[in-house]
Amino acid sequence: MSTKVLIVDDEIEFASTLAERLVIRDYDAKAVYTAEDAITAVQSEPPDVVLLDLRMPGANGFEVLSTIKSVDPSIEVILLTGQLKSESVVEGIPTGLFDYIVKPVDIAELVKKINSASEKRNSGTP
Amino acid sequence: MEHDKLTPSQFNFIGTILSLFSHEMNNHLAIVKNSVGLIGDFIRLGKTSRKDLQEILKTIQSIENQIEETSYFCDNLSGFGHGMEKPLSTFSVHKCVEELIILLRRLASQRRVQLEKNLSVNIPLIHNNPLMLQFLIFCFIEKNLKRLDDNSKIIIKTTYSNNSIEISIIPKGNFIKDEEGICKDEIYQQLIRQLGGNISQKTAGEEITIQLPISQSSAAT
């Protein structure tokens, strides 16, 4: 069964193209563009891995992360960020974040991180 | 003395513009990299059906659009930078307002507020300090961004009468009214003195109007 990936980013062009690139690589990928739609998608069709933009209109990425974890703690979240040396990203790791990736995204690196996140979810390790 | 007090806030303003610009540019580059990567994926997989080729052409078109948008965005930062080259110059207030709206678009959208312009036609050029004017408009936009509810709007309106230009910053939406009146703050009074104009506020916490003369030969350097 394909790994289910939910991409959450208000940059529609970026998120939809990334979803397409992941579908080509046999992932079951879907893009949503608001924090509200992300929460709805996580509740109705829980993904294995969420790629979450840190900065979205009216929403803090860490608050969205916390809501996702409250729905299902086993969903792994990878943060998408434009800040290479962001202290806030590093600080987020102990609070349930699996990893982060810096934009512009390298697809090979992203695929590796998605696979590791998916393996962790399937192994059931906390 | 006045300059000493203003400098940290002005650095903050320029820093905000630069960090918003770099964030926006990074997003533009991320979109282009992804789109180029998608075309690469199609080629590597040997996808050459008519439908696939249409998809590739669509992606190429979106890269072109993105590059045009990026170029327009850079042009606005360039205009903003040129405004800092000389303390006094003859410039278009509209260009100043438009640059600021484009450069602050992301900040406003993160707070779910829309920036809108309502610019009067046939406004003459003015001789003054464009950076100082943009800083003053920015201060009032920022104040409103902090207190407006989601899905609100800030309108920047210009009018021309009696040899002076008026720039109004009008919040539209729910917000907490400031009984003291925003423009009473000493820092804004210093700024407007240096620009040789006036600031007025219609009702406490509501529409703020900056009035500037067409020529301000004694404006701050």
ipTM: 0.87
Instruction: Inform me whether the pLDDT recorded for B36 exceeds 90.
Output: yes
Q: Is A57 on the interface with B (CB under 8 A)?
A: yes
Percentage, residues of chain A above pLDDT 90 = 69
Shortest Cα distance from B13 to chain A (angstroms)? 20
| Residue B152 in this model has a pLDDT that exceeds 60 | yes
Hey, where are the domains in chain B? 2-82, 89-213
A104 to chain B, any CB pair closer than 8 A? The answer is: yes
pLDDT at A90: 58
Q: Provide the residue type at B116 as one letter.
A: E
CA–CA gap between residue B43 and residue B75 (Å, rounded)? 34
Interface test with B, best of A7, A16, A18, A20 (most B CBs within 10 A): A20
What distance in Å separates residue B32's CA from the closest CA in chain A? 8
Contact present, A82 and A64 (Cβ < 8 Å)? no
A4-27 tens-digit pLDDT: 999 999 999 999 999 999 999 999
Q: What is the pLDDT of residues A50-79, one digit of tens each?
A: 999 988 887 888 889 999 999 999 999 999
CATH number for the domain formed by residue range(s) B2-82 = 1.10.287
The verdict on B86 touching A (C-beta cutoff 8 Å) is no
Q: Please name the member of B27, B35, B112 whose beta carbon is closest to the beta carbon of A17.
A: B35
The model carries a pTM of 0.85
What chain A residue is nearest to B65 in terms of C-alpha separation? A13
Size of interface A-B (CB pairs under 8 A): 57
**Mutual orientation of helices B93-110 and B2-44 as an angle, nearest 10°?**
70
A21: which chain B residues are within 8 Å (Cβ-Cβ)?
Answer: 34, 37-38, 41
Residues 21-50 of A with CB under 8 A from B: 21, 24
Looking at the complex, report in whole angstroms how far the Cα of residue A118 sits from the nearest Cα belonging to chain B. 22
* CB-based contact B110 A104, cutoff 8 Å: no
In this complex, which of B34, B35, B112 lies closest to A58 when CB atoms are compared?
Answer: B112
Q: In chain A, what residues touch B59 (CB-CB under 8 Å)? A: 17
How far, rounded to the nearest angstrom, does the alpha carbon of residue B95 sit from its chain's CA centroid? 10
Q: What is the rounded average pLDDT of the residues B167-187?
A: 80
Q: Measured between CB atoms, does A12 come within 8 Å of chain B?
A: no
Domains of chain A: 4-123 (3.40.50.2300)
CA dist list (Å): B184 to A72, B88, B155, B219: 51, 25, 21, 20
Please determine, looking at this structure, whether the domain spanning B89-213 carries the CATH number 2.60.40.1220. no
Task: Check if the beta carbon of residue A66 is closer than 8 Å to that of residue A52.
Answer: no
Distance from the B38 Cα atom to the nearest Cα atom in chain A, whole angstroms: 6
3-state secondary structure of A112: helix
